[in-house]
Amino acid sequence: MKALKERILRDGKCFEGGILKVDNFINHQMDPVLMKSMAVEFVRRFASTDINKVMTIEASGIAPAIMVGYLLELPVVFAKKKRPSTMENMLTTMVYSFTKDRSYEVCVSRDYLCPGDRVLFIDDFLANGNAAKGVIDLVQQAGAELVGMGFLIEKAFQHGGDYLRQQGIHVESLAIIESLENCEIKIRE
Ligand code: 5GP
Protein backbone atom coordinates (compact mmCIF):
# COMPACT_ATOMS: atom_id res chain seq x y z
CA MET A 1 0.00 0.00 0.00
CA LYS A 2 1.66 3.14 -1.31
CA ALA A 3 0.75 5.60 1.47
CA LEU A 4 1.99 3.23 4.19
CA LYS A 5 5.24 2.47 2.37
CA GLU A 6 5.94 6.19 1.92
CA ARG A 7 5.19 6.85 5.58
CA ILE A 8 7.52 4.04 6.71
CA LEU A 9 10.32 5.46 4.57
CA ARG A 10 9.65 8.95 5.90
CA ASP A 11 9.07 8.31 9.61
CA GLY A 12 10.21 4.73 10.33
CA LYS A 13 13.40 4.17 12.28
CA CYS A 14 15.62 1.07 12.39
CA PHE A 15 16.85 -0.46 15.59
CA GLU A 16 19.38 -3.19 16.39
CA GLY A 17 18.10 -6.73 15.91
CA GLY A 18 15.84 -6.03 12.94
CA ILE A 19 13.33 -3.86 14.75
CA LEU A 20 11.44 -1.15 12.91
CA LYS A 21 10.14 1.66 15.07
CA VAL A 22 6.98 3.31 13.78
CA ASP A 23 6.02 5.18 16.96
CA ASN A 24 5.31 8.31 14.95
CA PHE A 25 2.16 6.90 13.34
CA ILE A 26 1.30 3.38 14.67
CA ASN A 27 2.82 2.30 17.98
CA HIS A 28 2.76 5.43 20.14
CA GLN A 29 1.33 8.43 18.33
CA MET A 30 -1.29 7.20 15.87
CA ASP A 31 -2.41 8.62 12.55
CA PRO A 32 -6.16 7.90 12.35
CA VAL A 33 -6.44 9.00 8.73
CA LEU A 34 -3.74 6.55 7.63
CA MET A 35 -5.23 3.93 10.00
CA LYS A 36 -8.59 4.33 8.27
CA SER A 37 -7.02 4.03 4.81
CA MET A 38 -5.25 0.85 5.90
CA ALA A 39 -8.53 -0.59 7.20
CA VAL A 40 -10.22 0.25 3.89
CA GLU A 41 -7.43 -1.65 2.13
CA PHE A 42 -7.94 -4.70 4.39
CA VAL A 43 -11.68 -4.61 3.67
CA ARG A 44 -10.90 -4.56 -0.06
CA ARG A 45 -8.41 -7.44 0.19
CA PHE A 46 -10.74 -9.62 2.29
CA ALA A 47 -13.88 -8.63 0.37
CA SER A 48 -14.58 -12.19 -0.78
CA THR A 49 -14.08 -13.66 2.70
CA ASP A 50 -17.01 -14.51 4.93
CA ILE A 51 -16.10 -12.95 8.32
CA ASN A 52 -18.22 -12.51 11.43
CA LYS A 53 -15.58 -11.37 13.92
CA VAL A 54 -12.37 -9.37 13.95
CA MET A 55 -9.69 -10.40 16.43
CA THR A 56 -6.40 -8.90 17.58
CA ILE A 57 -3.96 -8.89 20.52
CA GLU A 58 -3.58 -5.88 22.76
CA ALA A 59 -2.24 -3.27 22.54
CA SER A 60 -1.05 -2.12 19.12
CA GLY A 61 -3.41 -4.33 17.15
CA ILE A 62 -6.49 -2.72 18.65
CA ALA A 63 -6.45 0.49 16.59
CA PRO A 64 -6.30 -1.15 13.14
CA ALA A 65 -8.65 -3.95 14.24
CA ILE A 66 -11.34 -1.59 15.46
CA MET A 67 -11.14 0.41 12.23
CA VAL A 68 -11.70 -2.81 10.26
CA GLY A 69 -14.51 -3.87 12.59
CA TYR A 70 -16.12 -0.46 12.25
CA LEU A 71 -16.06 -0.61 8.44
CA LEU A 72 -17.37 -4.18 8.38
CA GLU A 73 -19.82 -3.49 11.23
CA LEU A 74 -18.51 -6.54 13.07
CA PRO A 75 -17.47 -7.07 16.72
CA VAL A 76 -13.79 -6.84 17.57
CA VAL A 77 -12.31 -9.06 20.29
CA PHE A 78 -8.80 -8.60 21.60
CA ALA A 79 -6.74 -11.23 23.36
CA LYS A 80 -5.47 -9.86 26.67
CA LYS A 81 -1.91 -10.00 27.92
CA LYS A 82 -2.85 -9.86 31.60
CA ARG A 83 -5.14 -12.49 33.03
CA PRO A 84 -8.13 -10.59 34.46
CA SER A 85 -9.41 -12.10 37.73
CA THR A 86 -12.97 -11.63 36.47
CA MET A 87 -12.61 -13.39 33.12
CA GLU A 88 -14.95 -16.34 32.72
CA ASN A 89 -14.49 -19.34 30.41
CA MET A 90 -10.90 -18.45 29.76
CA LEU A 91 -8.75 -19.83 26.96
CA THR A 92 -5.00 -19.25 27.22
CA THR A 93 -1.88 -19.73 25.15
CA MET A 94 1.80 -18.74 25.43
CA VAL A 95 3.46 -16.33 23.00
CA TYR A 96 7.17 -15.64 22.72
CA SER A 97 8.00 -12.01 22.02
CA PHE A 98 11.36 -11.51 20.36
CA THR A 99 11.20 -7.72 20.82
CA LYS A 100 10.89 -8.24 24.60
CA ASP A 101 12.80 -11.57 24.67
CA ARG A 102 10.29 -13.26 26.94
CA SER A 103 7.20 -15.42 26.76
CA TYR A 104 3.86 -14.18 27.98
CA GLU A 105 0.41 -15.63 28.36
CA VAL A 106 -2.48 -14.28 26.31
CA CYS A 107 -6.08 -15.05 27.09
CA VAL A 108 -9.52 -14.62 25.66
CA SER A 109 -12.94 -15.62 26.92
CA ARG A 110 -14.94 -18.35 25.19
CA ASP A 111 -17.85 -15.95 25.60
CA TYR A 112 -16.41 -13.79 22.81
CA LEU A 113 -14.51 -16.32 20.70
CA CYS A 114 -17.14 -18.91 19.96
CA PRO A 115 -17.55 -22.18 18.06
CA GLY A 116 -18.39 -21.41 14.44
CA ASP A 117 -16.95 -17.87 14.51
CA ARG A 118 -15.23 -16.91 11.24
CA VAL A 119 -12.32 -14.85 12.48
CA LEU A 120 -10.23 -12.24 10.68
CA PHE A 121 -7.09 -11.54 12.75
CA ILE A 122 -5.54 -8.06 12.40
CA ASP A 123 -2.21 -6.94 13.91
CA ASP A 124 0.41 -4.25 13.50
CA PHE A 125 3.48 -6.42 12.77
CA LEU A 126 4.21 -9.91 11.50
CA ALA A 127 7.77 -10.96 12.30
CA ASN A 128 8.50 -14.57 13.31
CA GLY A 129 4.81 -15.33 13.55
CA ASN A 130 4.73 -16.25 17.24
CA ALA A 131 1.80 -13.98 18.08
CA ALA A 132 -0.01 -15.36 15.02
CA LYS A 133 0.66 -18.96 16.16
CA GLY A 134 -0.80 -18.10 19.58
CA VAL A 135 -3.93 -16.76 17.91
CA ILE A 136 -4.24 -19.88 15.75
CA ASP A 137 -4.10 -21.93 18.95
CA LEU A 138 -6.79 -19.81 20.65
CA VAL A 139 -9.06 -19.97 17.61
CA GLN A 140 -8.66 -23.77 17.47
CA GLN A 141 -9.33 -24.15 21.20
CA ALA A 142 -12.51 -22.11 20.77
CA GLY A 143 -13.74 -24.26 17.87
CA ALA A 144 -13.77 -21.17 15.66
CA GLU A 145 -12.31 -20.82 12.16
CA LEU A 146 -9.50 -18.52 11.12
CA VAL A 147 -10.44 -17.11 7.72
CA GLY A 148 -7.63 -14.59 7.28
CA MET A 149 -4.80 -12.64 8.85
CA GLY A 150 -4.01 -9.02 8.00
CA PHE A 151 -0.87 -7.19 9.07
CA LEU A 152 0.06 -3.56 8.61
CA ILE A 153 3.75 -4.43 8.30
CA GLU A 154 5.36 -7.81 7.57
CA LYS A 155 9.09 -8.30 8.02
CA ALA A 156 9.76 -10.90 5.34
CA PHE A 157 13.27 -11.63 6.61
CA GLN A 158 11.82 -13.18 9.79
CA HIS A 159 9.68 -15.64 7.79
CA GLY A 160 6.51 -15.75 9.93
CA GLY A 161 4.60 -14.99 6.73
CA ASP A 162 6.17 -17.98 4.93
CA TYR A 163 5.02 -20.27 7.73
CA LEU A 164 1.45 -18.92 7.78
CA ARG A 165 1.06 -19.07 3.97
CA GLN A 166 2.42 -22.65 3.98
CA GLN A 167 -0.39 -23.51 6.40
CA GLY A 168 -2.83 -22.32 3.71
CA ILE A 169 -3.84 -19.21 5.65
CA HIS A 170 -4.93 -16.18 3.63
CA VAL A 171 -2.35 -13.59 4.74
CA GLU A 172 -2.39 -9.96 3.60
CA SER A 173 0.33 -7.48 4.58
CA LEU A 174 0.07 -3.83 3.57
CA ALA A 175 3.82 -3.24 3.53
CA ILE A 176 6.48 -5.94 3.32
CA ILE A 177 9.95 -5.12 4.61
CA GLU A 178 12.62 -7.09 2.77
CA SER A 179 15.52 -6.01 4.93
CA LEU A 180 16.63 -3.67 7.68
CA GLU A 181 20.31 -4.48 7.22
CA ASN A 182 22.73 -1.67 8.03
CA CYS A 183 19.70 0.24 9.27
CA GLU A 184 18.47 0.76 5.74
CA ILE A 185 14.74 0.16 5.23
CA LYS A 186 14.13 -1.90 2.07
CA ILE A 187 10.45 -2.32 1.19
CA ARG A 188 9.11 -4.78 -1.42
CA GLU A 189 7.70 -3.04 -4.49
P1 5GP B 1 6.01 -12.09 15.91
O2 5GP B 1 5.19 -12.73 16.98
O3 5GP B 1 5.42 -12.23 14.54
O4 5GP B 1 7.45 -12.51 15.96
O5 5GP B 1 6.04 -10.54 16.24
C6 5GP B 1 4.86 -9.82 16.18
C7 5GP B 1 4.67 -8.90 17.34
O8 5GP B 1 5.90 -8.37 17.84
C9 5GP B 1 3.83 -7.73 16.90
O10 5GP B 1 2.55 -7.84 17.46
C11 5GP B 1 4.55 -6.50 17.39
O12 5GP B 1 3.93 -6.06 18.57
C13 5GP B 1 5.94 -6.97 17.75
N14 5GP B 1 6.94 -6.63 16.71
C15 5GP B 1 7.65 -7.51 15.97
N16 5GP B 1 8.55 -6.89 15.21
C17 5GP B 1 8.40 -5.57 15.45
C18 5GP B 1 9.07 -4.41 14.94
O19 5GP B 1 9.99 -4.44 14.12
N20 5GP B 1 8.63 -3.20 15.42
C21 5GP B 1 7.62 -3.10 16.33
N22 5GP B 1 7.26 -1.88 16.71
N23 5GP B 1 6.98 -4.19 16.84
C24 5GP B 1 7.37 -5.40 16.41
Confidence of residue 4 (pLDDT cuts 50, 70, 90): very high
User: Of all atoms in ligand 1, which is nearest to the CA of residue 133?
Assistant: 2
The partner residues of 95 in beta bridges, in order of sequence, read 104
User: Of all atoms in ligand 1, which is nearest to the CA of residue 128?
Assistant: 4
CA 128 to chain centre: 12
Does the CB atom of residue 134 touch ligand 1 within 6 A? Answer: no
Whether ipTM tops 0.90, in short, is yes
User: Of all atoms in ligand 1, which is nearest to the CA of residue 60?
Assistant: 12
DSSP 51: -
Q: Which uninterrupted H or E stretch holds 9? A: helix 2-11
pLDDT of residue 142: 98
CA 158 to chain centre: 15
Condensed to tens digits (0 to 9), the pLDDT of residues 157-170 reads: 999 999 999 999 99
Tell which one of 124, 155, 169, 185 to mutate to probe ligand 1, the residue whose CB is within 8 A of the most ligand atoms.
124
Q: What is the pTM of this model?
A: 0.97
For residue 145, what are the CA distances in angstroms to 41, 43, 67, 149, 189?
22, 18, 21, 12, 32
Number of domains in the chain: 1
114 by DSSP, 3-state: which?
Answer: coil
Tell which one of 8, 15, 96, 99 to mutate to probe ligand 1, the residue whose CB is within 8 A of the most ligand atoms.
99
Contact 113, 119 (CB under 8 A): yes
pLDDT of residue 17: 87
Domain that holds residue 101: 2-187
73 by DSSP, 3-state: which?
Answer: coil
Does the CB atom of residue 20 touch ligand 1 within 6 A? Answer: yes
Say how many C-beta atoms besides its own lie within 10 A of residue 123's C-beta: 21
The CATH number of the domain where 52 resides is what? 3.40.50.2020
